[in-house]
Amino acid sequence: MLRTHTCGELRGSDAGTATTLCGWVASRRDHGGIVFLDLRDRYGITQVSVPSGNGDLSALALGLGPETVVRVRGTVRLRPGGMRNEKRPTGEVEVEASSLEVLNPARPPAIPVADGESASDEVRLRHRYLDLRRPSCQRVLEGRHRILSAVRRFFDGEGFVDVETPALVRWTPGGARNYVVPSRVHPGSFYALAESPQLFKQLLMVAGLDRYYQVVRCFRDEDLRLDRQPEFSQVDVEMSFVEEEDVMGAVERMLAAVVKEVDGRDLPLPLRRIPYSEAMLRYGCDKPDLRFGLPISDVTDLVRESGFTVFRAAAAAGGVVRGLSVPGGASLSRKEIDGLEKVAREAGAKGLAWMKREEPGSPEGEFRGPFVKFLAGGEAAAIADGVGAARGDLSLFVAADEESACAALAAVRGAAARAKGLLDGTALACCWVVDFPLLERTEGGGWAARHHAFTSPRPDQLELLETDPGRVLARAYDLVINGFEIGGGSIRTHRTDVQERVFRAIGIGPGEAREKFTFLLEALASGAPPHGGIALGVDRLVMVLLRLPNIRDVIAFPKTTSAQDLMTGAPSPVSPSQLRELRIRPEA
């Protein structure tokens, strides 16, 4: 080793010992006679003092620019009283240098490396190696490592086998767009990069592995979001001879172990289970943010005869009128309410009806708001009660078709929580969303699998597959934390006859589409055990657990929203000769 200690470990008790440190120059303070250097590595910052009297050493120290890589030999000294730095663990001591060695000079950094200094996303990503040199970034990467270690410890301890599955796979129809990889050996044929190991892990169950897990990279060629990257990691899990509760139980115990590891607190189990239909009604979406209340209520039946035409017409047209109450929201300004209405409009609502119940200082029973004048006697109180509005609360209503109303109120709910400061930055609100519909309508009027085609229908609802497909519930479950979908899974179909019926319901007949799944049907017919599993998004989980606002923050080398790597310049064109070898001709 080039060093005897790290920059984070020297204490007062080390005073007098000889030491050699290596690190980056974090700052240089020149006092003419004496020069101070802050030396930084992953473990901390230690002050180095270079006293006068040794001309060469002082001159060398003066020439050290920021981020120069140096090796310092010296003696640990207790700092004089009053000169200690309480802000650093190493602040009691300094290393009095007897020699300085420049291991590598550094050009002035393109972005400041110190924590607390700002730089735009663009330059941070372009110089990611400097960005990652910041202590805060290193804490995140360490946190991610601890989380993944805890995950692996948990599954290892429960007898799961870590099996690797292919990344280069056959292209499969449906689902996320695949990245496509040309085959040199088979010109004109292509691999797909796996969007998930779904089929392989089911085949491992057929093989009898019984309990499988893997931390695996997945690839999806879809547009990016703050919680989506084109390549991301999953904790992929599959278990045999299990039911829903077995999978959910294992995962929430794993989650509790991870939360204990990173937060040191106990996650109360079992997690709340919320049926999909309730999630949609009360929170307007299938991944509710339960860090705050503001539940949505349906008041359609209260406004069928309303004096307010917008409400009456929506109800008559088969739509819904739903709303929520913001506690203390009567204090919100007109400007803030206009902001909420804008949110509702952007989410697809035609408008947002609002009503204040008894503002502070106003008489009992008073309601104020643009549409109150249209309401007949008692109606205002009835719908206010309907959404649970008390004195001083603000009621917000959307009248629309059910889908639009859900989307708009979900957006309004989040915006109102932010406006009223209801978001607890440290909270972890976890739940399972269960009882999803198995199928959903396609644009063409047919049916498609909502989760994937191998999700098992509820066994007591098999007949509905042929009579009323939209009502069939799936044996599926999503893990939701703070409004992010952290994972999703299901009990799979393990019998060929049931799989055939699901295929038929979603219009996969015995044609070419079916051929792509032949190997799976054959596998199911070869003694597939009842099985199920889940896939958890590692990056999202780390993001939520470390309370970071963006998935890029938890990935060492992420892509931008246009799926580029600003540091390396990927993707890039390849040479004509490479294309020729692959028999790929660019479109003219």
Partner RNA sequence: GGGGCGGUAGCUCAAUUGGUUAGAGUACCGGACUGUCGAUCCGGAUGUUGGGGGUUCGAGUCCCCUCCGCCUCGCCA
Positions touching RNA (CB under 7 A) are 27, 29-34, 36, 38, 47, 49, 51-53, 65-66, 79-80, 82-85, 87-88, 91, 94, 108-112, 117-123, 125, 174-177, 195-196, 198, 220, 222-226, 228, 346, 440, 448-453, 550, 552, 560-562, 564, 566
Q: How far is the CB of 184 from RNA (least distance, A)?
A: 27
DSSP-derived secondary structure letter, 79: P
Closer residue to RNA (CB): 62 or 269: 62
7 close to 40: Cβ distance less than 8 angstroms: yes
Residue with tokens 């109120």: 409
- Using left for φ > 0, alpha for ψ between -120 and 50, and beta otherwise, residue 261 falls in alpha
Q: How far is the CB of 119 from RNA (least distance, A)?
A: 4
Q: How far is the CB of 62 from RNA (least distance, A)?
A: 8
Cβ atoms within 10 A of the Cβ of 462, count? 15
395-410 per-residue burial string, b: 16 or more CB within 10 A, e: under 16: bbbbbbeeebbbbbbb
Closer residue to RNA (CB): 343 or 383: 343
Closer residue to RNA (CB): 4 or 172: 172
Dihedral, CA of residue 127, residue 129, residue 135 and residue 139, to nearest 10 = 120
- Per residue, the 3-state secondary structure of 363-386, as one string, reads CCCCEECCCHHHCCCCHHHHHHHH
Q: How far is the CB of 301 from RNA (least distance, A)?
A: 28
DSSP-derived secondary structure letter, 432: E
Q: How far is the CB of 27 from RNA (least distance, A)?
A: 4
Cβ-based neighbours of 162, under 8 Å, separated by 6 or more: 152, 155, 156, 212, 213, 214, 215
551 close to 227: Cβ distance less than 8 angstroms: yes
Closer residue to RNA (CB): 66 or 275: 66
Closer residue to RNA (CB): 85 or 496: 85
Strand bridging mode 272-275 / 476-481: unpaired
Q: What one-character-per-residue DSSP string does 451-491 give? A: S-TTBPBPGGGTTHHHH-GGGPBBSEEEEEETTEEEEEEEE
Q: How far is the CB of 187 from RNA (least distance, A)?
A: 28
Closer residue to RNA (CB): 175 or 327: 175
Q: How far is the CB of 407 from RNA (least distance, A)?
A: 7
End-to-end CA distance of the chain: 57
Find the angle CA(149)-CA(151)-CA(154) to the nearest 5 degrees: 105
Whole-number CA gyration radius for the chain:
30
Closer residue to RNA (CB): 518 or 577: 518
Q: How far is the CB of 183 from RNA (least distance, A)?
A: 22
Closer residue to RNA (CB): 430 or 555: 555
Closer residue to RNA (CB): 123 or 372: 123
Closer residue to RNA (CB): 85 or 331: 85
- 571 cis-preceded (ω within 30 degrees of 0): yes
The backbone torsions φ and ψ at residue 40, rounded to the nearest 5 degrees and listed phi first, read: -120, 135
Residue type, position 381, single letter: A
Q: How far is the CB of 332 from RNA (least distance, A)?
A: 22
- 270 cis-preceded (ω within 30 degrees of 0): yes
Q: How far is the CB of 28 from RNA (least distance, A)?
A: 7
